[in-house]
Amino acid sequence: MDKWEDNRAWFLVLPVFVVVAFSAIIPLMTVVNYSVQDIFGPGQRVFVGTEWFADALSDRRLHEALWRQFLFSGLVLVIEIPLGVLIALAMPKRGLGVPFSLVLLALPLLIPWNVIGTIWIIFTRPDIGLLGVTINGLGIPFDHTASPLDAWITVVAMEVWHWTPLVALLAYAGLRAIPEAYFQAARIDGASAWATFRYVLLPKLRGVLTIAILLRFMDSFLIYAEPFVLTGGGPGNATTFLSIHLVKMAVGQFDLGPAAAFSLIYFLIVLLFSWLFYQALQNVGQGERR
Amino acid sequence: MARIALEQVAHAYAEHPRSDAEWALKDLDQVWEDGGAYALLGPSGCGKTTLLNVISGLIAPRRGRILFDGRDVTGLRTEQRNIAQVFQFPVVYDTMTVFDNLAFPLRNRRIDETRVRSRVAEVAEMLDLAEVLGRRARRLTADAKQKISLGRGLVREDVAAILFDEPLTVIDPGLKWQLRRKLKEVHKRRRLTLIYVTHDQNEALTFADRVAVMNEGRVLQVGTPQALFERPAHRFVGYFIGSPGMNFVPCVVEGDAALVAGARLPLAEEALAAARVATGRIELGVRPEHLRLAVEPAKGAAEVTVRAVEDLGTYRIVTIALGEHVLKAKLAADRPVPAGAAYLSVPPAAARLYAGGRLIG
Amino acid sequence: MTRVLRLGGLGLYYGLLLLPIYWMLNMSLRSNADIMGAFSLYPTDPNLANYVKIFTDEVWYSGYINSIIYVSLNTVISLTVALPAAYAFSRYRFLGDKHMFFWLLTNRMAPPAVFLLPFFQLYSTLGLIDTHIAVALAHTLFNVPLAVWILEGFMSGVPREIDEMAYIDGYSFPRFFATVFVPLVRTGIGVTAFFCFMFSWVELLLARTLTTTDAKPIAATMTRTVSAMGLDWGLLAAAGVLTIVPGALVIWFVRNYIAKGFALGRV
């Protein structure tokens, strides 16, 4: 089942290309431009070449933020992807449960990200928040403003609460799109639940899971508002992820040049790892999808 | 091998069917003999796929029983029923090779590996898949994939019947006949009960020994293609089989002939006898192939007007008006077609009478 | 999974999911002082003051309407351009196809902060600042790639034999696409529509940067709830509750698209 070879397909892709490139290319070029200059004020620029890049790459705090970021994204992926798939498998396929489940899953996704952080601040406070009071009531001393571990737990919990529904919704849609005949054939062939999962579900979900994994990796790697509102990056630097570091740095001394350079490095890191993920996922089925 | 019997089977998809129309299958009593090759033929929505799924167990019927060789299997799930099903579009396990696809039903049933290998080899040889056993199933063409689907049914030694749900739908037209031929070969070799659902009468008539024509949830007639053609038991069967279908005109039987729009068409003795005891509206049914057109009047011929002629290569379809009734005749290409006024005669042996839609004589 | 285990696990997840939502609802029905003062499992003195404030304050509800306008615009644009493109990626090989496909996604990979200024300058030059179409267009930057990727995934699940059959039957491409193909991928369309809506709805930075007053979205207004006394938690929570409503409606409308899948029969 090979694809048809036809360059006229470009016409179908042209609108997308135009629409996206319109907003992508010029700003990108501008940022690249900034990244190699030192800007003192309007009209006062000095070309500094790769100076900002070198600075950024040797910044020890950047390395620390980067490691924290990898840990965070790794945790997020390991928890959210399997959890989302399990939820999708458990969700009802027919009846009233369907719209109920869909709306319920949509709720966390629809709240603006700064509001999420805000709600969780109160939610986890040991004096006036439901979660904080409950946990401390159970005798566990929990304070995300004081303990780095508690802060991490809270941030990860908040992120999982917020974004697992995305994985679940994607996986659910993917499951619903599998024609009934595949399941019927598997039954006729005497396949066990595990065999059906492994030979029918997983292969058919591969496309959807690829998107889910890439999306969650990218978005969690770039995450800013929720953890910043919740912990401000603290206690200390405990939850200062990469974008929080970037903003701290850029806002601290508002300097477009270094900020632009950092942004590009940031972008390239996300690009590299996304690409690696993508290649790995393409090869998992050992058959090229494209 | 299995003799499949359906007793009083009825099914509706809705929870509480309110009207007759909501029943997909109505009061079916049917027997499919062991080793027969049957086609289930009918228009979209007539219930043939529902019937197939009831037999295979993918649907549990609202009423009635299904028996395999006298054993009640109505309560049994699909995997317990010794049937295999080939679906409308090819279902293969993408991540497996052709070999693993064919081996899958056996491995799931924990057959030991040597036996698996020999069965797979046997079936692969039968289906001309031996050369591609090592390839990934997803890479093959649609017709090869359908063969794999069929193969998964054939590898099982316990399989009693194979059910096909319009399996040639997505097959390239040039390859359809190859697959059909292969199916007949398989049937000859294995003598399994085969039930083949289709809406294409050519497929049905060339594949099956016996064809069951369905409409609106009922099986109207089961018979050889010949029987269906010559003696359709129901108006719908007459209309559905044949291209174009049978002509029907209302008539009144008087004396030794049928009166249609003022013309007298002689009938055979058998038909006349049936007409005498029949009640209700009577219709005369004649296949376009049997109508004869002449320029000169003849005894027992009716005066008609030729309205249109379609030339289809080896034959022609002629649209005729008999009074206010429109009929179609199918004439060989080498016969002359009168223009304008003509005389239509119906050989009595080819005339069928229908009362209330059913064949009476 | 046995039924009990399945329903129990699902119920547990749903319960946990609802807790912070409930808490937000709780906060929205209390005054700021009440929230900060004491812990209470349910509002002891519930009042709709926060909601009243939002509904009567023109800045708040116009923000709501603005958001709905540009988000709807964006969803329509994104879906419209993404559908044919996704089909092309799914069915055809052409020059640069793999690179183009991945390039699309790269537009979601950059941290936004530094890009805001050039974005502003670009749209300013075109005189598009403070228009709904500006935000709608700007959001296509990340929504169109998402739409193309998701749709492509679902389209690839439809066997190409369907396309071939339609062409043999004499369908023209537009007719095939509209009447045969789109219904088969409606699961993908439903979920894509919701995600486009959602990501555009919650996007704060670009929407705030490109608008001043006329098209100011609700999310931006919400960040203004900082006053001399600090954040007005109750008001923010009420706004949070209200922002859920349009999106919930959207997913409710596309529920059949998402859940019904397709039966590849009667083609």
For C20-41, how does the pLDDT look when each residue is reduced to its tens digit (9 = 90+)? 999 888 888 888 877 787 787 8
Mean pLDDT of A248-275: 82
Residue of chain C with shortest Cα separation from B94: C157
Per-residue confidence at A79, pLDDT binned at 50, 70, 90?
Answer: very high
Instruction: For chain B, positions 299-338, list CB contacts with chain C under 8 A.
Output: none
Give the lowest-confidence range in A196-210, C104-118, C217-231.
C217-231
Token digits of residue B327: 């009929």
Identify the three-state secondary structure at position A250: helix
Per-residue confidence at B86, pLDDT binned at 50, 70, 90?
Answer: very high
Judge contact between B260 and B249, C-beta under 8 A.
yes
One-letter amino acid for residue B292 of the chain:
R
Token digits of residue C20: 């912070």
Is B170 in contact with C265 (Cβ distance < 8 A)?
Answer: no
Q: B341: which strand partners?
A: B305
Per-residue model confidence (pLDDT) at position B70:
85
C contact test, residue of A1, A13, A268 with most C CBs within 10 A:
A13
Query: Domains in chain C, please, with CATH?
Result: 1-47 (no CATH), 57-260 (1.10.3720.10)
Judge contact between B222 and B30, C-beta under 8 A.
yes
Per-residue model confidence (pLDDT) at position B85:
92
Per-residue model confidence (pLDDT) at position A85:
94
The H-or-E segment that residue B256 falls in is none
One-letter amino acid for residue C63 of the chain:
G
Which distant-in-sequence residues (6+ apart) come within 8 Å of C171 by Cβ?
C179, C180
CB of B91 within 8 Å of a chain C CB? The answer is no
Mean pLDDT of B320-344: 85
Judge contact between B27 and B218, C-beta under 8 A.
yes
Residue C267 predicted with pLDDT over 60: no
Q: Which residues of A touch B96 (CB under 8 A)?
A: 199
Per-residue model confidence (pLDDT) at position C219:
67
Mean pLDDT of C45-57: 82
Those chains having 3 or more beta-carbon pairs within 8 angstroms of chain B are A, C
Is A107 in contact with C233 (Cβ distance < 8 A)?
Answer: no
Residue B55 predicted with pLDDT over 60: yes
Mean pLDDT of B198-204: 88
Residue A286 predicted with pLDDT over 60: no
Which distant-in-sequence residues (6+ apart) come within 8 Å of C49 by Cβ?
C31, C234
Identify the three-state secondary structure at position C124: helix
Residue of chain A with shortest Cα separation from C112: A263
Per-residue model confidence (pLDDT) at position A287:
47
Tell me the domain boundaries of chain A. Answer: 61-284
CB of A276 within 8 Å of a chain C CB? The answer is no
For helices B142-154 and A180-188, the axis angle rounded to 10 degrees is: 30
Q: How far apart, in whole angstroms, are the C-alpha atoms of residue C247 and residue C201?
A: 8
Tell me the CATH number of domain A61-284, given options 3.30.70.1520, 3.40.50.720, 1.20.1290.10, 1.10.3720.10.
1.10.3720.10
**Which is more confident, B359 or C227?**
B359
Q: How far apart, in whole angstroms, are the C-alpha atoms of residue C252 and residue A103?
A: 6
Other C-beta atoms within 10 Å of B235: how many?
Answer: 21
Q: How far apart, in whole angstroms, are the C-alpha atoms of residue A193 and residue C142?
A: 38
Identify the three-state secondary structure at position B31: strand
As a dihedral over the C-alpha atoms of residue A132, residue A134, residue A140, residue A144, rounded to 10 degrees, the angle is: -10
Mean pLDDT of A256-261: 81
Residue A250 predicted with pLDDT over 80: no
Please tell me the pTM assigned to this model.
0.84
Token digits of residue A39: 């800007």
Is B149 in contact with A185 (Cβ distance < 8 A)?
Answer: yes
Mean pLDDT of A13-42: 84
Is C248 in contact with A107 (Cβ distance < 8 A)?
Answer: yes
CB of B87 within 8 Å of a chain A CB? The answer is yes
Per-residue model confidence (pLDDT) at position C88:
92
Per-residue model confidence (pLDDT) at position A289:
41
Mean of per-residue pLDDT scores for chain B:
87
CA distances from C103 to A20, B282, B295, C138, C139 (A): 10, 73, 76, 17, 16
Residue A15 predicted with pLDDT over 80: yes
CB of A156 within 8 Å of a chain C CB? The answer is no
Which distant-in-sequence residues (6+ apart) come within 8 Å of C135 by Cβ?
C70, C74, C206, C207, C210, C211, C215, C217
What's the gap in Å between the CA of B17 and the closest CA on chain C? 22
As a whole-number percent, the residues of chain B with pLDDT over 70 amount to 100
The tens digit of pLDDT for each residue in A110-125 reads 988 888 888 898 888 8
DSSP annotation of C176 reads: I
Nearest by CB to A128, which of C38, C91, C248? C38
Per-residue confidence at B269, pLDDT binned at 50, 70, 90?
Answer: confident
Q: How far apart, in whole angstroms, are the C-alpha atoms of residue B43 and residue B59?
A: 20
What's the gap in Å between the CA of C1 and the closest CA on chain B? 19
The tens digit of pLDDT for each residue in B169-186 reads 878 888 888 888 888 888
Mean pLDDT of B205-215: 89
Per-residue confidence at C232, pLDDT binned at 50, 70, 90?
Answer: confident
Judge contact between C188 and A177, C-beta under 8 A.
yes
Give the lowest-confidence range in A62-76, A210-224, C233-247.
C233-247
Query: Domains in chain B, please, with CATH?
Result: 4-239 (3.40.50.300), 243-359 (2.40.50.140)
What's the gap in Å between the CA of A12 and the closest CA on chain B? 26
Burial class (CB in 10 A: 0-12, 13-18, 19+), B76: middle
Residue written as token pair 């890479």: B139
What's the gap in Å between the CA of C106 and the closest CA on chain A? 7
Mean pLDDT of B317-329: 88
Token digits of residue A119: 């709600």
- Residue of B255, B249, B259, B214 whose CA lies nearest to B234: B214
Mean pLDDT of B122-151: 89
Nearest by CB to B94, which of A184, A195, A203? A203
Mean pLDDT of C95-107: 89
Is A189 in contact with B108 (Cβ distance < 8 A)?
Answer: yes
Q: Which residues of A touch B153 (CB under 8 A)?
A: 188
CB of C169 within 8 Å of a chain B CB? The answer is no
Is C145 in contact with A20 (Cβ distance < 8 A)?
Answer: yes
Mean pLDDT of B247-258: 85
Is C165 in contact with B170 (Cβ distance < 8 A)?
Answer: yes
What's the gap in Å between the CA of B79 and the closest CA on chain A? 5
* CA angle, residues C1, C2, C5, in degrees to nearest 5: 90
- Beta B161-165 vs B193-198: how paired, if at all? parallel
As a whole-number percent, the residues of chain B with pLDDT over 90 amount to 14
Residue of chain C with shortest Cα separation from B171: C161
The H-or-E segment that residue C215 falls in is none
Token digits of residue A240: 């200062």
Per-residue confidence at A108, pLDDT binned at 50, 70, 90?
Answer: very high
- Residue of C192, B112, B15, C104 whose CA lies nearest to A95: B15
Residue B324 predicted with pLDDT over 80: yes
Per-residue confidence at A288, pLDDT binned at 50, 70, 90?
Answer: very low
- Residue of B242, C256, C3, B68 whose CA lies nearest to A95: C256
Residue C228 predicted with pLDDT over 60: no
Mean pLDDT of C239-265: 80
Give the lowest-confidence range in A186-200, B288-302, C52-66.
C52-66
Per-residue confidence at A254, pLDDT binned at 50, 70, 90?
Answer: low
Residue of chain B with shortest Cα separation from A192: B108
Per-residue model confidence (pLDDT) at position C230:
64
Per-residue model confidence (pLDDT) at position C223:
64
